[in-house]
């Protein structure tokens, strides 16, 4: 299986009150449970089913994903900068395995 790699893009600096764009991508095959391998056997379902983002410990974004989401899901959302802090990103796979990333932002 390919290596699952989360990537995020957060501006390092923002002005107070500025609306910034947060971008997140995870390299993940998103197996729906319907595809077959080379032997003709079904590949078990294994998808990212939840993506959540916190800023300084407060949840600011959450999305539940279904099998129809494409491989390597990309998510983008606006965020109004009001204080400096840390974004924590969490992707949750079927079975509960989590993949995480963090980025800091300074607000002036």
- For residue 10, the domain's CATH number is 2.60.40.10
Low-confidence ranges of the chain (pLDDT < 50): none
Burial class (CB in 10 A: 0-12, 13-18, 19+), 30: buried
Domain, as residue range, for 55:
5-107
Number of domains present in the structure of the chain = 1
Question: What pLDDT score was predicted for residue 13?
Answer: 97
Question: What pLDDT score was predicted for residue 51?
Answer: 98
- Tell if the pTM clears 0.85, that is, is over it: yes
- Reading the block at residue 93, the tokens are 């796979």
């Amino acid at each position: 299986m390919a290596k699952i790699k989360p990537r995020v893009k957060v501006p390092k600096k923002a002005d107070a009150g500025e609306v910034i764009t947060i971008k997140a991508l995870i390299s993940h095959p998103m197996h729906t449970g319907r595809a077959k391998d080379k032997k003709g056997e079904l590949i078990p379902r294994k998808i990212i089913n939840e993506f959540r983002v916190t800023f300084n410990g407060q949840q600011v974004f959450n999305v539940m994903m279904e099998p129809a989401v494409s491989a390597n899901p990309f998510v983008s959302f606006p965020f109004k900068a009001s204080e400096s802090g840390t974004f924590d990103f969490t992707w949750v796979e079927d079975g509960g395995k989590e993949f995480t990333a963090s980025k800091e932002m300074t607000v002036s």
